[in-house]
C-alpha cells in the first residue's frame, strides 16, 4: 500500500514537472516566435478561369536566419498552400539564397534566408467554381538558427480569405509593391525560345547541326526571305554567259549569305543586341536599295557591270566568283531579320556559351539551310539558255523586280502617304513598258498581244493594291506606354503587346494575314492591344521596352493575363497563323 502511494506521488511530481516545462515551451513559442508570416494576393478578388499570384511574406527576427530552399541547406525551407476545390497552385517560386560561412563550418558557405523573404506561387481558378468567400492556408516549414545555435523546426501558418466573384466583375491589382520586391526566381523561363535553347544544348553535335540546317530550310520559306528571290533571279539571270560555272557561282553566293548571317548572329548573341538590327539602320537600308537600283539599271542595258581591269587581270577569270561572293555578303543582311523560336533559342544558347567563335559556327548550318533554296534558284537562273530576243525581255523583267525590291526596302524611310504609291507605280511602269515600248515583245504579233495583256493586268493589279491598302478591317493598336499597361492591369484586362517595325517583312505578313482575320479580331476584342514600333532604332521608348521585355527580334507578341502576369509560354516570335493565334488568345484568362 505504501509502495502504491509512493508511486502515485512520484507520478504527480513528474506530471507537474512536464506540465511546467510544456507551459514554458508554449509560452516561449507564442511570445518569442522567430519567424512570422502573412499570405497576400496580387488581386482583390478572383473570377472563374482567372490566374493570379499568392505571396507568402516571412519575417525573420533580427540576428536569426533560416535554411533556404536549397539542396545544400541542412533543413530547407518548404512552403505548402492549401486551397479549396476549384483553386490550384503551381510549385512555389523561392528567392535566391544568401550563402554565408559560420563557425561550425568555416570552409563551407551555407544557403540561408534573413530579414524578409517573399515566396510566390501562381494560382488558377477553375471555370466552374461558384462565387463565394474562400479560405487559403499557407504553411512554411523552416528551422531557425542564431550563429551556430539552431532551434527545433517550426511551422509558420498564415490564413487569408478572398472572394470569388462572378465572371466579368472588375478585378483590381493590389500589393504590387510587395510582388515587385520578389527576388529573381530560380525557375527557368518556359517560353518556346528557352525550351529550344535547352533542347539544342542537350543534343549531340551532329544532331544539333542537322536540326539547325532543317530549321534554316523552314525559315527559307518565310516572308523575310522573299525579297531575296527577285534579287537572286535578277543577278544570276545576267550571268548566263557563265553557265558552266553556275554551281560554283551559286555555292559562293550562298557562302557569302551564310558568312554575313553567322557573323550578325554571333555579334547579337555576344552583345545581347537584337538580331537583324542592321536593317534598322538608314545607311544600311539606303545602301542595299542603291545596289538594287544599280543592278536594275544594268538589266535595262544602260551599262554592263564588271570588275575593274586591275582586278580582272589578277582574278584570271574569277571575277564572277568574286561578284557572287560580294552579292552574298551584302544581301546576307536581308535574311537576318528572320526570327522564330529556333533563331532565338540559338541566340540564348550562344549567349550562354559566351564564345563568339562558337556562336558563329552555331549559326552557320542555320544560314546554309536558309541559303539552300536560293542555291537552286541561282543555279537554274545562271543555266538559262543563251540570250535571245525573249531573254532580253526576261532580263528587263528582272530589272523591274529589282526596282520593286528596292522600293520595298525604302518604304520605312518614306512618309506613309507617299510610300503607299511607290510599289504600285513600279508595277504600272513595268506594265506600260512591256505593253508599248519593249521591242523584243513587239517583234511578233502573239508576243505583242501578250505584252498588252500583261500591261492591263499590271495596271489592274496596281489599282487593286492602291484601293485595298488599309481598306481591310484589322486589329487596332494603341502605342505602348507603361501607364497604359498598368491601367489595363488595374482594370483586370488581359493585354496583347506587339513588337513590330516597318522594315520587318514577317510583321507585314502578320498584319495582312492573322491580324486581318475576322475571327482573330473578334477573339482579341477583350484584350488591351498595345504596340511598340521599332522602325526608329534610336527611339528611347522602344529601346527601353525591348530591354525590359528581353525582345531579341521582330515580330514578338507578348501576352499578359488579367492579373497582370506575363504568360511566358504563350510568347510568339516570328509568324503565327490565325488558328494558332486564336488558340493562344483563348488560353489567356
* Helices (H), ranges, 32-171: none
Rg (CA), the chain: 33
Name the more confident of 524 and 296: 524
350-396 pLDDT, tens digit each: 766 667 777 788 888 888 888 888 888 888 877 766 555 666 777 78
The pLDDT value recorded for residue 384 is 66
DSSP string across 2-69: HHHHHHHHHHHHHHHHHHHHHHHHHHHHHHS-SEEEEEEESBSSB-TT-EEEEEEEEEE-TT-EEE-S
- CA 150/CA 145 separation, integer angstroms: 4
Name the more confident of 280 and 439: 439
The rounded mean pLDDT for the chain is 78
273-307 pLDDT, tens digit each: 555 555 556 777 788 788 888 878 877 777 555 54
Task: Note the Cα 8 to chain centre separation in Å.
Answer: 77
Determine the average pLDDT of the residues in 410-439.
Answer: 81
Determine the average pLDDT of the residues in 115-131.
Answer: 90
Closest CA to 292 of 400, 420, 448, 177: 400
Name the more confident of 220 and 518: 518
Q: Are 383 and 360 in contact (CB under 8 A)?
A: no
| Residue 555 confidence (pLDDT) above 90 | no
Three-state SS at 347: helix
Grid cell in block for residue 493? 484586362
Residue with cell 486581318: 516
308-352 pLDDT, tens digit each: 444 444 444 444 677 788 888 877 776 655 555 566 666 666 766
pTM: 0.55
Q: Are 264 and 275 in contact (CB under 8 A)?
A: yes
- CA 554/CA 575 separation, integer angstroms: 10
| Residue 215 confidence (pLDDT) above 60 | yes
Left (φ > 0), alpha (ψ -120 to 50) or beta: where does 550 sit? Answer: left
The 3 state secondary structure assigned to 416-460 is HHHHHHHHHHHHHHHHHHHHHCCHHHHCCHHHHHHHHHHHHHHHH
CATH fourth-level superfamily of 478-587: Glutaredoxin (3.40.30.10)
- CA 517/CA 522 separation, integer angstroms: 9
Q: What is the DSSP letter of 550?
A: T
Angle made by CA atoms 99, 102, 108, in degrees to the nearest 5: 60
Three-state SS at 173: strand
The pLDDT value recorded for residue 76 is 92
Name the more confident of 264 and 523: 523
Helix/strand number for the chain, H first, E second: 20, 17
Residue with cell 489567356: 588
147-161 pLDDT, tens digit each: 778 888 999 999 999
The 3 state secondary structure assigned to 449-475 is HHHHHHHHHHHHHHHHHHHHCCCCCCC
| Residue 566 confidence (pLDDT) above 80 | yes
475-515 pLDDT, tens digit each: 999 999 988 988 888 788 899 999 988 777 678 778 888 99
What are the φ and ψ backbone dihedral angles of 481, each rounded to 5 degrees?
Answer: -140, 150
Closest CA to 184 of 91, 118, 139: 118
| Residue 442 confidence (pLDDT) above 80 | no
Determine the average pLDDT of the residues in 21-49.
Answer: 69
* Helices (H), ranges, 220-272: 228-237, 246-271
Closest CA to 160 of 181, 180, 134: 134
What are the φ and ψ backbone dihedral angles of 512, each rounded to 5 degrees?
Answer: -80, -20
Taking the domains of the chain in order of start, what are their residue ranges?
Answer: 35-187, 193-413, 478-587
Its CATH class, for the domain covering 35-187, is mainly beta
Grid cell in block for residue 224? 523575310
Among the residue ranges 124-133, 444-453, 511-520, the one predicted with the least confidence is 444-453
Closest CA to 432 of 399, 448, 456: 456
Residue with cell 501578250: 450
Span between the terminal Cα atoms of the chain, in Å: 77
Among the residue ranges 120-124, 227-231, 234-238, 447-451, the one predicted with the least confidence is 234-238
Closest CA to 36 of 137, 125, 156: 156
Amino acid at each position: 500500500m505504501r509502495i502504491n502511494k509512493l508511486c502515485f506521488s512520484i507520478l504527480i511530481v513528474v506530471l507537474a514537472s512536464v506540465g511546467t516545462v510544456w507551459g514554458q515551451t508554449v509560452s516561449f513559442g507564442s511570445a518569442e516566435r522567430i519567424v512570422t508570416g502573412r499570405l497576400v494576393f496580387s488581386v482583390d478578388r478572383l473570377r472563374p478561369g482567372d490566374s493570379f499570384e499568392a505571396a507568402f511574406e516571412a519575417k525573420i527576427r533580427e540576428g536569426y536566419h533560416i535554411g533556404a530552399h536549397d539542396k545544400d541547406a541542412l533543413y530547407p525551407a518548404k512552403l505548402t498552400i492549401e486551397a479549396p476545390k476549384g483553386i490550384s497552385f503551381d510549385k512555389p517560386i523561392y528567392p535566391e539564397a544568401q550563402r554565408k560561412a559560420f563557425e561550425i563550418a568555416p570552409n563551407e558557405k551555407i544557403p540561408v534566408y534573413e530579414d524578409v523573404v517573399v515566396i510566390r506561387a501562381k494560382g488558377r481558378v477553375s471555370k466552374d467554381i461558384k462565387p463565394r468567400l474562400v479560405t487559403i492556408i499557407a504553411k512554411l516549414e523552416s528551422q531557425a538558427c542564431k550563429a551556430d545555435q539552431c532551434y527545433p523546426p517550426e511551422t509558420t501558418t498564415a490564413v487569408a480569405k478572398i472572394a470569388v466573384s462572378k465572371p466579368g466583375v472588375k478585378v483590381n491589382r493590389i500589393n504590387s509593391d510587395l510582388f515587385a520586391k520578389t527576388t529573381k526566381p530560380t525557375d527557368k523561363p518556359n517560353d518556346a525560345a528557352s525550351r529550344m535553347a535547352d533542347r539544342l544544348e542537350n543534343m549531340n553535335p551532329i544532331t544539333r547541326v542537322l536540326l539547325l540546317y532543317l530549321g534554316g530550310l523552314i525559315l527559307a520559306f518565310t516572308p523575310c526571305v522573299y525579297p531575296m528571290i527577285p534579287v537572286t533571279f535578277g543577278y544570276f539571270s545576267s550571268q548566263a554567259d557563265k553557265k558552266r560555272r553556275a554551281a560554283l557561282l551559286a555555292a559562293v553566293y550562298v557562302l557569302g549569305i551564310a558568312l554575313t548571317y553567322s557573323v550578325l548572329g554571333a555579334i547579337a548573341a555576344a552583345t545581347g543586341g537584337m538580331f537583324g538590327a542592321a536593317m534598322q539602320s538608314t545607311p544600311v537600308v539606303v545602301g542595299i536599295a542603291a545596289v538594287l537600283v544599280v543592278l536594275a539599271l544594268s538589266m535595262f542595258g544602260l551599262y554592263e557591270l564588271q570588275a575593274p581591269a586591275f582586278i580582272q587581270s589578277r582574278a584570271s577569270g574569277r571575277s564572277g566568283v568574286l561578284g557572287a561572293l560580294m552579292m552574298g555578303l551584302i544581301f546576307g543582311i536581308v535574311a537576318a531579320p528572320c526570327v522564330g523560336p529556333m533563331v532565338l533559342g540559338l541566340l540564348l544558347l550562344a549567349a550562354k556559351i559566351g564564345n563568339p567563335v562558337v556562336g558563329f559556327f552555331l549559326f552557320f548550318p542555320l544560314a546554309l539551310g536558309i541559303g539552300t533554296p536560293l542555291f537552286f534558284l541561282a543555279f537554274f537562273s545562271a543555266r538559262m539558255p543563251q540570250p535571245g530576243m525573249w531573254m532580253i525581255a526576261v532580263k528587263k523583267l528582272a530589272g523591274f523586280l529589282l526596282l520593286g525590291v528596292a522600293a520595298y526596302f525604302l518604304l520605312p524611310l518614306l512618309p506613309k502617304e507617299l510610300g503607299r504609291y511607290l510599289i504600285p507605280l513600279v508595277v504600272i511602269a513595268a506594265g506600260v513598258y512591256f505593253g508599248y515600248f519593249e521591242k523584243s515583245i513587239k517583234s511578233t504579233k502573239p508576243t505583242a498581244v501578250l505584252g498588252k495583256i500583261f500591261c492591263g493586268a499590271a495596271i489592274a493589279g496596281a489599282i487593286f493594291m492602291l484601293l485595298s491598302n488599309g481598306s481591310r478591317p484589322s486589329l487596332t493598336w494603341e502605342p505602348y506606354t507603361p501607364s497604359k499597361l498598368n491601367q489595363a492591369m488595374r482594370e483586370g484586362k488581359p493585354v496583347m503587346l506587339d513588337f513590330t517595325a516597318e522594315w520587318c517583312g514577317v510583321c507585314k505578313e502578320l498584319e495582312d494575314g492573322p491580324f486581318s482575320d475576322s475571327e482573330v479580331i473578334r477573339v482579341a476584342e477583350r484584350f488591351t492591344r498595345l504596340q511598340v514600333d521599332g522602325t526608329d532604332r534610336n527611339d528611347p521608348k522602344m529601346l527601353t521596352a525591348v530591354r525590359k521585355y528581353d525582345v531579341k527580334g521582330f515580330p514578338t507578341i507578348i501576352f499578359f493575363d488579367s492579373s497582370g502576369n506575363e504568360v511566358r509560354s504563350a510568347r510568339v516570335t516570328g509568324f503565327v497563323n490565325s488558328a494558332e493565334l486564336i488558340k493562344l488568345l483563348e488560353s489567356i484568362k
